[in-house]
A = this chain, B = another copy of it.
Amino acid sequence: MTSDPRLEPRRTLTLRDVSEASGVSEMTVSRVLRNRGDVSEATRERVLSAAKALGYVPNKIAGGLASQRVNLVAVIIPSLSNMVFPEVLTGISQVLDDTGLQPVVGVTNYSPEREEQVLYEMLSWRPSGVIVAGLEHSEASCAMLRNAGIPIVEIMDVDGEAIDSVVGISHRRAGREMARTILTAGYRKIGFLGTQMPHDHRARKRFEGFTAALAEEGLDLLATEFYSGGSALLKGREMTQAILARRPDLDFLYYSNDMIGAGGLLHCLDAGIDVPNTLGLAGFNGVELLDGLPRRLATMDACRLEIGRAAAEILSGKSQDGRTSGVRIELSPRLDPGQTIRTAR
C-alpha cells in the first residue's frame, strides 16, 4: 500500500476523490463507508484502502443533511464542576458508545436563560434526542423541547411534570427519608447547610422534603446556613463553624451535598466534637471522595451513573419494550448511614 503523499493536499477531500481513486461511483463508496447495502468484498477493500490512503474523513454535515438523520444526542447539564454530572455523563457514554449515537454536552451554569440558548444551539444541529437535567425550564425551552419532534429525557429529578420521558429520583422523598432516619436516631436539634437554592431545584426539593418531615414531628430547623461559590470543602468548614457558633446546642447538621458535608466533618474532627454522639452529620450524593475521609459521612446515593445509563437506554431504544418516548423511571436512592449518625437511640 505504497501511500502516495500528493503534493497538493489543498481542497478537502470528498467522496468523489475516493470514488475516482478507487474507480467506482460515489454511491458505492458511500455504501462501503457506512457498511450499508451489498458491496462485493473486492470493491469494499479497494475503496477502504483508497479512503485510508487519501486520509478521507466523511463529511457528516452533508451526510446528515441528505439522510435527515444525525447521530447526536444533546446532553444539557447545569455544571461540570460538580462531579455529579461528569458521572452522569459517564453513564450516558457507557450506553451510547455501542449504539453509534454520540453525546454532545452543553452546560447551563444553572441559568434558565443560558439553558434556553444552549438548547436552541443544540437543536439547530437536529440531534436525534435530548437529555436535559431537571424538570424546570423556561417557557420557551419547554416549547422548543415539545416542538423538536425528537425524544426528550429529563433526568435527575422526578418531582414534577415531564415533557416526555423522565429518569431520576425523588429529591423530596430523599429529604424526607433522611429526616426520618435522623429523627429515629434520636436527634432533635437540627440545622441545615446548603447551597443558595433559587437555581438548584433539586437541592431545594430535598430541603422541602426534609423540613416537611421534621414538621410532621412538630420540629423546625433551628438554624440554616447558605453559601454559593468557592471551594465547597472550605465552605463546609466555615459554615459549620459559623452555625455552631450561633447555635452550639445543635445535635445534627444536614448538608445539601457531600462536599460541604465533608468540610463540616473535617471541622468537627478538628474541633474535637464527638461525631456522631454529640453531633450527627449527613450529606447527599455518595461521592467517591468520601471513602478517603477519616470517618464515613452519612449520605444518600443519587444513582448518578444509573440515571445516565437509563436515559441513554431510552434514547437508544434499549429500554423496556423499546419505547423512546413517555418512559418514566424512578430510581431509589440508597441511604448510607456511614459513621456520622448514631445507631438508634
Smallest CB–CB gap between A239 and chain B, Å?
11
**A70 cross-chain contacts in B, Cβ below 8 A:** 61
**A230 cross-chain contacts in B, Cβ below 8 A:** 288
- Complex CA gap A293/B292 in Å reads 12
Within the oligomer, what is the number of copies of this chain? 2
A263 within 8 A of B: yes
Smallest CB–CB gap between A45 and chain B, Å?
18
**Interface footprint category on A:** 35 or more
A87-119 CB mask vs B (1 if < 8 Å, else 0) is: 101100100000000101101000000000000
Q: Which of these binds chain B: A121-129, A207-215, A249-257?
A: A121-129
A55 within 8 A of B: yes
Within 8 A of B (CB), among A260-290: 262-263, 266, 270, 288-289
Q: Are A236 and B147 in contact (CB under 8 A)?
A: no
A288 and B231 contact, Cβ closer than 8 Å, known pairs A125-B61, A149-B12, A294-B266: yes
A32-61 CB mask vs B (1 if < 8 Å, else 0) is: 000000000000000000000001011111
**A198 cross-chain contacts in B, Cβ below 8 A:** none
**A291 cross-chain contacts in B, Cβ below 8 A:** 231, 233-234
